[in-house]
Amino acid sequence: MKVNEHFQNLGQSYLFTRINQLVAAYQKEHPDAQLLRMGIGDVTQPLVPAVVEAIHRAAEEMGHAETFHGYGPEQGYPFLREAIARYYAAKGVEVSPAEIFVSDGAKNDLGNLLDIFAGDNVVAVPDPVYPAYVDTNVMDGRPIRYLNGTPDNQFLPGPPDFHADLIYLCSPNNPTGAAYDREQLAAWVEYALAHQSLILYDAAYEGFLEGSDLPSTIFQIPGARRCAIEVCSLSKTAGFTGMRCGYTTIPLELEYQGASLHKLWGRRQATKHNGVSFVVQRAAEAVFSPEGMAQTRQALGVYRQNARLMADTLRELGIAFWGGIHSPYLWMRCPGFDSSWDYFSYLLENAHIIGTPGEGFGSMGEGFFRLSAFGTPESTRQAMEQFRRLHAKN
Amino acid sequence: MKVNEHFQNLGQSYLFTRINQLVAAYQKEHPDAQLLRMGIGDVTQPLVPAVVEAIHRAAEEMGHAETFHGYGPEQGYPFLREAIARYYAAKGVEVSPAEIFVSDGAKNDLGNLLDIFAGDNVVAVPDPVYPAYVDTNVMDGRPIRYLNGTPDNQFLPGPPDFHADLIYLCSPNNPTGAAYDREQLAAWVEYALAHQSLILYDAAYEGFLEGSDLPSTIFQIPGARRCAIEVCSLSKTAGFTGMRCGYTTIPLELEYQGASLHKLWGRRQATKHNGVSFVVQRAAEAVFSPEGMAQTRQALGVYRQNARLMADTLRELGIAFWGGIHSPYLWMRCPGFDSSWDYFSYLLENAHIIGTPGEGFGSMGEGFFRLSAFGTPESTRQAMEQFRRLHAKN
């Protein structure tokens, strides 16, 4: 039996696995150190009351024969897909419930979607960016080209001068916090239509765009229905990192080589997936209720407030940074360090703050560092105090 | 952008999707017909009280900041992996929690595991068998050879006279209900070790073996830790079809071409998966508690009782069948029909019973038919009455 040889070309371990190991090793040596986690983009606010209530109700449904639910539709229950379609409608975008696939989370779908694409497609990936885009394609052996994000383009690379088949866009971007405006996205749609490329649009952080006039779904851009799949998540907007629920939208008319991507993905999911847990889907439904929306908006406000405090601190210290406005991430220059992994260790050892080295998001990320605003207000305040103490000294 | 061309080689739709469509069409034309579902292997007994309680408790944990859980370990929480290891220990098998990967269900893992194997491995698949084994490999373009199951070998094919890299075994078998004994499994392990093959052992129905002396895990067979991965499910044994939870066991010493399959799968999961919902893992933990085990055993008893009634009915009518003892499935000859799809329509139209055509499980299944014992006692009784009326007439 032969193993998939492409796995040899992967880094030793997935970025966040590596960070967890480094942190665990440090904690073991310093058991009393109170570490302040601003690394992995995990949320800290609990599920909102409307969602908790929905889980209780679902438990009772599952506990009684008359209301018990066994296998559900692979694509997700209509009650949830209809709620998501209404969420799109509120953004002025018409998406049919039939075009929505409920998922166990954006990460799962971003990886699994590759099953329906040929192995020799050329993939364009922003650099820096969420590392799973690269790793999942390396596993299949697809050639990867990078779209460089730099301070000059505000970490928002535009269409390249080469041909790409699959294009990843993440807006608001992880890790830089930068978000495309309509004009910039329209240029990408124009490129994709001209090149018969497919845009894989990761909108996991779209909830942070509320109140801005930046596009929060690529389907707000004319023509996108003919060249884009959108992958969304409840992880950050509704604190679902531990609940596991997202959704992927594939327009019915999206076709390549005469094949409907909607049908291909439906066939893939019917064969390798059995739908998302009923209890989780009921919880997700509650997120989209008027009550749930109001409550989650309030929870998001906590992270926005954290981001403001972090931005103020960095500004005060004269450290260059991006993001932090319509995004839970701040992307900063490593102050006084060339290597972002060295800075990671420095910050861990001297301020007990865990961040994410920019290099982990691609070679263009070297020299930069990501801080997350998903902590509690208390830990964020503590972290910024330590941060100020550390960098004011220098 | 080029799509995965192997998808062209798939059947029009996944077996159970096709059946659902046929049934929906019939129901639309006959809205008053009370259909009796013995087709798809879905359970009907509600979640047991211990599991419902666990979901309620998990909802509260998630609703309070002090006990909230965000991202969990990709491999599953230790509390659940340790419970599963104890379940193995009760079978006299030593499996470390580190070897257990909690999953969203056996179907997901059976499909996703293929990511870590090369595309040109020769795959051996029993025929008839659960159709996802074939479809998932067709998607990757792997060559497939069949292991014929017939009444002569009691639908339990032994090792073939050709080389196979990946071997699927499903015991108790879906759809035939046949289960391998120790000697037969030992022959498979011997073959796999000699050929450096990997056995993918689907133990989704192992719960039905309780009280028999047949092996309920392949790790009861000496040598299996060097040639087998076991995929398990809570779907049937604990009514989790709608909850979505299973587990996959990969021994730490399992190596091919010097590569640890445990590490490859860990890398795959860390990159394309973010763990199973915390609420679902708490529910699964409750299944393995003494209380949960006693309660689920009782629920399984209902299905066993159904199977007995079905077996008695078929015996009385003189229809040849297999399974139904240590399995929730009865595998019968289509009485008076050569085509199992014709018999499917005949049974639907004349007795309002939905079963599964044997041909859907492979060409060797043609002329046979699968009935599931997962209905309610009431619907099973009704179905058997209709069945008796229909076939006694002939």
Q: Which candidate from A5, A68, A198 shows the least CB-CB separation from B46?
A: A68
CA pair distance A260, A278, nearest whole angstrom? 28
Identity of residue A146: Y
Cα A186 from chain centroid? Answer: 21
Is the pLDDT at A12 greater than 80? The verdict is no
Select the more confidently predicted residue: A192 or B210: A192
* DSSP, residue by residue, A146-186: EEE--GGGTT-----SS--SEEEEESS-TTT-----HHHHH
CA pair distance A28, A42, nearest whole angstrom? 22
Chain B residue at shortest CA distance from A18: B270
- Beta strand extents in A151-280 (DSSP E only): 166-170, 198-202, 228-233, 246-249, 255-256, 259-260
The total number of residues written for chain A in this structure: 394
ipTM of the prediction: 0.96
pLDDT for the residue B71: 94
Identity of residue A353: I
User: In this predicted model, what pLDDT tens digit does every residue of A100-131 receive, in sequence order?
Assistant: 999 999 999 999 999 999 999 999 999 999 99
- Beta strand extents in chain B (DSSP E only): 36-37, 100-103, 123-127, 144-148, 166-170, 198-202, 228-233, 246-249, 255-256, 259-260, 321-323, 329-333, 353-354, 356-357, 368-372
Backbone phi, psi, residue A43, to 5°:
-85, 165
pLDDT for the residue B393: 57
- Rounded to a whole number of angstroms, the distance from the CA of B152 to the nearest CA of chain A is 30
Single out the residue of B313, B332, B319, B381 nearest to residue B175, CA to CA. Answer: B332
Query: Is B244's CB within 8 Å of A68's CB?
Result: no
Single out the residue of A251, A320, A322 nearest to residue A101, CA to CA. Answer: A251
- Rounded to a whole number of angstroms, the distance from the CA of A387 to the nearest CA of chain B is 25
Is the pLDDT at A211 greater than 90? The verdict is no
| pLDDT tier for residue A393 given thresholds of 50, 70 and 90 | low
DSSP strand pairing (A166-170 vs A123-127): parallel
CA pair distance B262, B147, nearest whole angstrom? 27
Q: Which candidate from B107, B112, B117 shows the least CB-CB separation from A1?
A: B117
Chain A residues touching residue B136 (CB < 8 angstroms): 271-272
Q: Which candidate from B2, B14, B242 shows the least CB-CB separation from A69?
A: B242
- Rounded to a whole number of angstroms, the distance from the CA of A89 to the nearest CA of chain B is 28
CA pair distance B134, B363, nearest whole angstrom? 12
Q: In this structure, are residues A192 and A199 in contact, taking their beta carbons and an 8 Å threshold?
A: yes
Would an 8 Å CB–CB cutoff place A68 in contact with chain B? Answer: yes
Number of Cβ within a 10 Å radius of residue A83 = 20
Cα B393 from chain centroid? Answer: 35
Single out the residue of A45, A34, A41, A40 nearest to residue A382, CA to CA. Answer: A34
* A 193-212: CB under 8 A from B: 196-198
Residue A256's alpha-carbon distances to A10, A75, A227, in angstroms, are 29, 21, 9
User: In this predicted model, what pLDDT tens digit does every residue of B47-81 receive, in sequence order?
Assistant: 999 999 999 999 999 999 999 999 999 999 999 99
User: In this predicted model, what pLDDT tens digit does every residue of B125-137 receive, in sequence order?
Assistant: 999 999 999 999 9
> What DSSP element (H or E) covers A349?
helix A340-351
Query: Is B59's CB within 8 Å of A56's CB?
Result: yes
Query: Which burial class, exposed, middle or buried, applies to A345 when counting CB atoms under 10 A from its CB (0-12, 13-18, 19+)?
Result: middle
DSSP strand pairing (B228-233 vs B198-202): parallel
CA torsion B145-B149-B153-B159 (nearest 10°) is: 20
pLDDT for the residue B141: 97
Single out the residue of A93, A24, A363 nearest to residue A249, CA to CA. Answer: A93
Query: What is the reported pTM?
Result: 0.96
Would an 8 Å CB–CB cutoff place B49 in contact with chain A? Answer: yes
Contacts made by residues B265-270, CB under 8 angstroms, sequence distance 24+: B265/B101, B265/B113, B265/B116, B266/B74, B266/B75, B266/B101, B267/A7, B267/A10, B267/A13, B267/A14, B268/A139, B268/B112, B268/B115, B268/B116, B269/B74, B269/B75, B269/B101, B270/A13, B270/A14, B270/A16, B270/A17, B270/B74
User: In this predicted model, what pLDDT tens digit does every residue of A284-343 receive, in sequence order?
Assistant: 999 999 999 999 999 999 999 999 999 999 999 999 999 999 999 999 999 999 999 999
CA pair distance A142, A91, nearest whole angstrom? 35
Would an 8 Å CB–CB cutoff place B1 in contact with chain A? Answer: yes
Would an 8 Å CB–CB cutoff place B272 in contact with chain A? Answer: yes
- Rounded to a whole number of angstroms, the distance from the CA of A275 to the nearest CA of chain B is 8
pLDDT for the residue B16: 84
Q: Residue B138: helix, strand or coil by DSSP?
A: helix
Find all residues with CB under 8 Å of A280, minimum gap 6, and list them.
A243, A244, A245, B277, B279, B280
Q: Answer whether the bond into residue A159 is a cis peptide, omega within 30°.
A: no
CA pair distance B269, A294, nearest whole angstrom? 34
User: In this predicted model, what pLDDT tens digit does every residue of B359-389 receive, in sequence order?
Assistant: 999 999 999 999 999 999 999 999 999 999 9
| pLDDT tier for residue B12 given thresholds of 50, 70 and 90 | confident
* DSSP, residue by residue, B17-40: HHHHHHHHHHHHH-TT---EE-SS
What does the DSSP 8-state code read for residue B170?
A: E
Find all residues with CB under 8 Å of A85, minimum gap 6, and list them.
A95, A96, A97, A100
User: In this predicted model, what pLDDT tens digit does every residue of B105-132 receive, in sequence order?
Assistant: 999 999 999 999 999 999 999 999 999 9
- Rounded to a whole number of angstroms, the distance from the CA of A72 to the nearest CA of chain B is 6
* DSSP, residue by residue, B86-113: HHHHHTT----GGGEEEES-HHHHHHHG
Query: Is A277's CB within 8 Å of B279's CB?
Result: yes
Find all residues with CB under 8 Å of A66, minimum gap 6, and list them.
none
Find all residues with CB under 8 Å of A352, minimum gap 6, and list them.
A33, A34, A35, A36, A386
The annotated binding site of A for pyridoxal 5'-phosphate is made up of 71, 106-107, 130, 174, 205, 233-235, 244, 274
Residue located via tokens 């297999």: B322
Query: Is B7's CB within 8 Å of A239's CB?
Result: no
Cα A196 from chain centroid? Answer: 25
Is the pLDDT at B394 greater than 70? The verdict is no
Would an 8 Å CB–CB cutoff place B267 in contact with chain A? Answer: yes
Number of Cβ within a 10 Å radius of residue A253 = 11
Chain A residues touching residue B55 (CB < 8 angstroms): 55, 58-59, 62, 279
Q: In this structure, are residues A167 and A198 in contact, taking their beta carbons and an 8 Å threshold?
A: yes
Average pLDDT, chain B: 96
CA torsion A47-A50-A53-A54 (nearest 10°) is: -90
pLDDT for the residue A15: 86
